[in-house]
Amino acid sequence: MSETVIKCESVYKIFGENAKKMLEESNGNVDAKTFQEKGCIVGVNNASFEVAKGEMLVVMGLSGSGKSTLLRCISRLTDATGGKIFIEGQDLLELNNKELIELRRNKMGMVFQSFALLPHKTVVENIAFPLQIKGTNTQESISRAMEMVKLVGLDGRENYFPRELSGGQQQRVGIARSLAVEPDIWFLDEPFSALDPLIRKEMQDEFLRLQEKLQKTIMFITHDFDEALKLADRIAIMKDGIIEQLDTPANIVLNPATEYVRKFTEEVPREKVLIIEDVMDTSSKDNLGDLKVSKDEIIENVAEKILTQEKLVGVVDSSNNIVGSIKPSKIIDTVFGGRKNGS
């Protein structure tokens, strides 16, 4: 794995008056129920993970699972009650106000569920806002903002007010605003949850296109498991403030760690999520048929071809070396069978 950008070590966020003291007394063994009896609500419970440069970590959880709170701890919109957070090696909780503002002005961008646009500013003014806050002069900030307007495809609407735009368009403004300062770290808090399904799909595709181009380090919050599977490099699934499982989409689908995670994976169409590499057999590389498939293909795309074969199908990597094989029956097995016992 390459350079670590975000690193969390046993992060806790507990709301309530004596939160700090109670956390110290509990020695890291936080039980939500006993805390609640004493008037404290546990938001994030012992979260530890790392995000590498250019990686997209999607945090998935239902409402109240603490996913937004976790994000706000890492952006330090709220202060974590316990634990350590490092941003590019800097201890986030040790930063003073000035350093924190510098960090936000240059390194971080955030997109919000309700868009959070400033109602009194036009599209282009909203996008230029973080630049102007930094002290960039008007002309430069506006011309940079105009570039962002083009990037998110809002040309011609730069002088509209947020209230004159549709939800999807407003979120494009939100995205453009968060990217205006060219941040390295990009936080997205349920950015597409307030949008219609069709618009949401369109925005997801566009988001992937953007990310391919920009290669930011991303923390993406969502309550939509399909969205997580579609976008994520790795997924963290949260429940009651605890990260239940943190792994690649394929591993989560194939090996759900807990009963809670398994419930989500049950209805997932695996052929759309898994790639050949996830199900191939690396031990037998002999007796292959004529057909070769790439290990990075999504199963759905090659299933039909493989199923017409009778012999083993060879799996190749990007330089065309054979790295494994796959039986046609394995495809059927993956798609239809073995749901109850893993795979």
- Residues binding other proteins (CB under 8 A): 72, 75, 77, 101-102, 104-106, 108-110, 112-122, 124-125, 129-130, 133-134, 138, 142, 158-159, 174, 177-178, 181, 187
Among residues 247, 182, 241, 250, the alpha carbon closest in space to that of 217 is found at: 182
CB of 156 to other proteins, least distance (A): 12
Tell me whether residue 84 or residue 105 sits nearer to other proteins (CB atom). 105
Radius of gyration in angstroms for the set of CA atoms belonging to the chain, rounded to a whole number? 23
In angstroms, how far apart are the furthest CA atoms of the chain? 69
Amino acid at 39: G
Tell me whether residue 86 or residue 161 sits nearer to other proteins (CB atom). 161
CB of 73 to other proteins, least distance (A): 13
**Order of strands, edge to edge, in the sheet holding 217-222?**
108-111, 185-189, 217-222, 56-60, 234-239, 242-247
Tell me whether residue 121 or residue 262 sits nearer to other proteins (CB atom). 121
Both tokens of 267, joined, read 């209805």
Q: Where are the beta strands (DSSP E) in the chain?
A: 4-15, 41-52, 56-60, 82-87, 90-91, 108-111, 185-189, 217-222, 234-239, 242-247, 288-294, 312-316, 322-326
Tell me whether residue 51 or residue 188 sits nearer to other proteins (CB atom). 188
CB of 150 to other proteins, least distance (A): 15
Query: Is residue 57 classed exposed, middle or buried when 0-12, 13-18 and 19+ CB atoms within 10 A define those classes?
Result: buried
Both tokens of 99, joined, read 């350093």
CB of 8 to other proteins, least distance (A): 18
CB of 168 to other proteins, least distance (A): 17
Tell me whether residue 48 or residue 159 sits nearer to other proteins (CB atom). 159
CB of 69 to other proteins, least distance (A): 12
Place of tokens 């590498």: 52
Tell me whether residue 53 or residue 134 sits nearer to other proteins (CB atom). 134
